[in-house]
């Protein structure tokens, strides 16, 4: 399958990198690299992720990258079975409130059926 990373997901990955860079450049680079590898692996194993609990449509999935017990990141994507495409639409810290983000952005209100 072809993997497309949308702008919001790219922004999320950038935000994660710059946040972690404040504390450790090495750590920020490691997290960025690992998340990018998780995204690349989706092409071969798109159904590895769990259903996103906040969204009722089962084409929406997420993989969790857990750096340690206190640090985890959600890589959220949508699978277009009929086109063999995966769209990574958001990457965020698992501590962030996804429901709040859904209501904040018109992009999500038009894109999801919740």
Output the pLDDT for position 112. 46
Summarised one tens digit per residue, pLDDT across range 24-70 is: 999 999 999 999 999 999 999 999 999 988 887 888 999 999 987 77
Pairwise CA distance, residues 77 & 80, whole Å: 10
pLDDT at 18 over 90: yes
Confidence category of residue 15, pLDDT binned at 50, 70, 90: very high
| pLDDT for res 20 | 93
Q: Could you give the CA distance from residue 81 to residue 20 in angstroms, rounded to a whole number?
A: 35
Task: Give per-residue pLDDT as tens, 82-109.
Answer: 888 999 989 998 887 676 666 665 555 5
Quick check: 62 and 76 in contact, CB under 8 A? yes
Residue 114 has pLDDT above 50, yes or no: no
In this structure, the strands spanning 2-5 and 50-51 are unpaired
Domains of the chain, CATH where assigned: 2-108 (3.30.2310.20)
Residues contacting 83, CB < 8 A, separation 6+: none
What was the pLDDT predicted at 54? 81
């Amino acid at each position: 399958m072809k993997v497309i990373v949308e702008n919001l997901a790219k922004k999320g990955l950038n935000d994660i990198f710059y946040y972690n860079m404040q504390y450790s450049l090495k750590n920020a680079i490691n997290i960025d690299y690992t998340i990018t590898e998780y995204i690349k692996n989706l092409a071969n194993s798109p159904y590895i992720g769990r259903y996103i609990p906040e969204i009722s449509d089962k084409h929406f999935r997420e993989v969790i990258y857990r750096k340690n017990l206190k640090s985890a990141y959600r890589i959220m994507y949508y699978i277009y079975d009929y086109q063999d495409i995966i769209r990574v639409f958001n990457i965020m810290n698992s501590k962030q409130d996804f429901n709040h983000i859904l209501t904040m952005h018109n992009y999500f209100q038009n894109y999801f059926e919740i």
